[in-house]
Structure 1
Amino acid sequence: MSNSENKAKTFAIIGFGKIGQALAKAFARKGIKVVVATTRDPESFAPDAAAIGPEIIPITLTDAVKADIIFLAVRFESHPDVAKALPTWEGKIIVDVTNAYGVPPEQMNGLPSAKFVAQAFTNAKLVKGFNHLGAAILEQDPAVLGGRRVVFLSSDDEGAAAEIAALAEDLGFAPVKLGGLSEGELLVQAHGKNWGHLIFQDLVKFKS
């Protein structure tokens, strides 16, 4: 998937807390339109969206899930509620930005959290990404000292990972693929009350 092909896609951010707004700022910075939604009436967060930029369009959850690529930026515990918005997520890419800190592994049947989330979004292609940075860092311009801020991606679908890597580049980040969910995700995800080794690592990639 080339960057130009990505421009034909539609994007949504579900969840408009600190992380959702940080993602919205990344889109606005590059002039890329993205719809945003929560379980609340869009009018309740429209002022916050307008403050970020005209590219950020508040709409209902029902309309937001029509997008091709959906950033899941809700609390981990809320993901099943979002998943109920569609009977099938066939043809869509879910970018899982959630963190399951404090959730007992047995509640996820011993699965990595992204694999557990993937089960709720029937037939979707899931990419874990953009979750290893706190909102205060994620919302900053990813151009740093001549380099680009790193975002880690992992997925069991190489095509989906390539699409999100192209989008990350469009947003100014340097995507680094970590492999499949059972391997790469473990580096950037909480396990109970323990964080993966790469979580919160603010890294910058420079051209060689």
Structure 2
Amino acid sequence: MACDRRTLLRASAFVLALAAGPALAQQDSKIPIAVIGGGNIGGTIGGLWVKAGHPVMFASRHPEDLKPLVEKLGPLAKAGTVEQALAFGDAVLIAVPYKAYPELGQTHAGLLKGKVVLDAGNATKARDGELAAEAESAGIGATSAKYLPGARLVRAFNAANYRLFAQSAHRSGAKMAVPIAGDDRQALTVAAALVRDAGFDPVVVGGLDAARQFQMGAPNYGRDVTGPEARKAFGVAE
């Protein structure tokens, strides 16, 4: 419980720093982040956060395999077990195959409780079987919430291929939109700030149920559009 309170206090301080203005936010809003999964999405987005000044711990069942990644990213990047990373991070990015969600949520329920969790997973029939059918029927947001109970869940970074994120981060001109959805207002604020730090324009589509609109196979999945274009497509205000 003490750990949960500390995490909530740090997340609140992060939100307050963002509200205080750009200069203070730039100085005070660097929080430790756990990236569960060091593959294409995890390595790409986690790497962008490291470059933005966030300390990041990448996790897998075999953290020694992540040594080349963290050495390339420098001293702000670390590798660890899933348990170590979840204890380290005030925010969490989940970027593992969707079939791992039930075990991940069950095994690490205590460490996930109260954490802002950015959920980048997609469910595919060939790999994830019945979970893909469940996500299609119930919606990916509701399905993730079922298997990650207690997490302050935000769907993010799932709507495009990692290559598109890598080539579009911090691009000149209008930034690439990243749609996000969640039921926790403060978690959405934290997630939006992290999307900006990665070099994109966050577009809040709605609550978790609205994540259906940009899950794999939906019309708004896989689109490289600007923030204003995305807000128009989703029918949300500026």
The TM-score with structure 2 as length reference comes to 0.76
Aligned to 1:119: 146
CA contact (8 A) 1:27 1:55 kept: no
Structure-to-structure mapping, 1:54-73, within 5 angstroms: 54-66=75-87, 67-73=89-95
Structure 1 residue 54 displacement after superposition: 2.9
1:18-68 per-position Cα deviation (integer Å, ceiling 9, x unaligned): 11111122113323211100122x222211221233322111111111122
Q: Distance in 1 between matches of 2:65 and 2:53?
A: 23
The Cα of 1:157 is off from its aligned counterpart by: 1.4
The answer to which structure has the higher strand fraction is 1
Where do 4+ consecutive residues of structure 1 move more than 6 Å?
Answer: none
Spell out the pairing of 1:133-152 with structure 2 (5 A cutoff).
133-152=160-179
Partner of 2:113: 90
Partner of residue 214, structure 2: 188
Residues in 2 aligned to 1:6 and 1:123: alpha-carbon distance in whole angstroms: 27
Task: Return the alpha-carbon distance in structure 2 between the equivalents of residues 137 and 54 of structure 1.
Answer: 26
Taking only the aligned residue pairs, the percentage that are identical comes to: 25
Matches within 5 A, 1:1-208: 1=15, 2-3=17-18, 4=25, 7=29, 9-40=31-62, 42-66=63-87, 67-88=89-110, 89-102=112-125, 103-104=129-130, 106-108=133-135, 110-183=137-210, 185-190=211-216, 195-205=217-227
TM-score by length of structure 1 reads 0.86
- In 2: Cα distance, 1:81 partner to 1:53 partner: 31
Aligned 8 A contact 2:94 2:117 in 1: yes
Does the Cα contact within 8 Å between 1:65 and 1:85 map onto a contact in 2?
A: no
Partner of 2:6: none
Gaps of 5+ in 1: none
Backbone CA RMSD of aligned residues: 2.3
Partner secondary structure for residue 93 of structure 2: strand
SS of the residue corresponding to residue 95 of structure 1 reads: strand
State the Cα deviation string for residues 149-184 of structure 1 (Å, max 9, x = none).
21110011122111111221222211000001212x
SS of equivalent to 1:110: helix
Larger RCO: Structure 1 or Structure 2 (Cα < 8 Å, ≥ 6 residues apart)? 1
Q: Deviations over 1:116-142 (max 9, x none)?
A: 111222211100011111011112352
Displacement of 1:93 in angstroms is 1.2
On the 8 A contact 1:22/1:139 being kept in 2, the answer is yes
Structure with a larger share of its residues in helix: 2
**Aligned residues of 2:176 and 2:224 also touching (Cα < 8 A):** yes
In 1: Cα distance, 2:174 partner to 2:209 partner: 29
Question: Mind listing any 5+ residue stretches in structure 2 that lack a counterpart?
Answer: 1-14, 19-24, 229-237
